[in-house]
């Protein structure tokens, strides 16, 4: 689904289209892995709030790994690909977006040791100028770029998020958090009910 970045990769960041046909530079999402599968948070940040609730109401206190990522689309090896970027890499990518220029990204991956094993670290990646074969005839034509992306973008990010949404995987989320899941939802319902009652009074 997402291209896994390799040390030494060179690519150009390209905007992508959402299902409404609007141009997007990036899309942020939060997620966690449960039973080797990804569970993505919803717009109300239900999963993030559940992780925090579980942390403060568990003995001993131990936070479950919840991560924020940004989706970007890139032009790499003459193909459009999606990547998922950490906060640091996102900062680098954001400042290199200009499809009319020769700006590219060079990936520098230095593996670092963490509490869960070795993880990639892209902090030393950088932007640079490089001649490239633009896939559209007129690099300044918004219409040509839009048509090219529409024809070659291989999926919509919304579909990926919907497919892995917390509500689609509520059973494994309930199992992962145990009693704290039910207590959290119960308290959440009470807060919403109290808010409605306050508005009516």
Burial class of residue 137 in the structure, from the number of CB atoms within 10 Å of its CB (0-12 exposed, 13-18 middle, 19+ buried): exposed
pTM of the model: 0.85
What does the pLDDT look like over 70-88, one tens digit per residue?
999 999 999 999 999 999 9
What does the pLDDT look like over 14-62, one tens digit per residue?
999 999 999 999 999 999 999 889 999 988 888 999 999 999 998 888 8
Burial class of residue 48 in the structure, from the number of CB atoms within 10 Å of its CB (0-12 exposed, 13-18 middle, 19+ buried): middle
> What dotted CATH number matches 10-200?
3.90.198
What's the distance, Cα to Cα, between the start and end of the chain in Å? 50
CA separation for the pair 25, 17 (Å, rounded): 9
What does the pLDDT look like over 86-97, one tens digit per residue?
999 999 999 888
Contacts of 79 (CB under 8 A, 6+ apart): 152
């Amino acid at each position: 689904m997402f291209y896994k970045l390799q040390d030494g990769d060179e690519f150009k960041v390209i905007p992508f289209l959402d299902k409404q046909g609007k141009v997007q530079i990036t899309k942020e999402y939060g997620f966690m892995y449960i039973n080797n599968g990804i569970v993505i948070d919803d717009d109300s940040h239900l999963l993030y709030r559940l992780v925090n609730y579980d942390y403060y109401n568990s003995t001993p206190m131990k936070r479950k790994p919840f991560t924020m990522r940004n989706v970007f689309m890139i032009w790499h090896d003459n193909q459009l690909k999606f990547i998922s970027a950490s906060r640091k890499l996102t900062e680098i990518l954001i400042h290199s977006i200009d499809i009319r220029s020769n700006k590219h990204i060079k990936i520098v991956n230095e593996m670092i040791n963490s509490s869960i094993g070795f993880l990639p670290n892209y902090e030393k990646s950088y932007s640079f100028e490089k001649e490239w074969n633009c896939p559209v005839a007129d690099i300044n034509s918004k219409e040509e770029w839009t048509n090219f992306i529409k024809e070659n973008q291989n999926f919509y990010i919304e579909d990926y998020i919907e497919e892995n949404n917390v509500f689609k995987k509520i059973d494994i989320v309930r199992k992962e958090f145990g009693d704290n899941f039910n207590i959290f939802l119960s308290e959440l319902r009470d807060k919403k009910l109290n808010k409605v009652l306050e508005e009516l009074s």
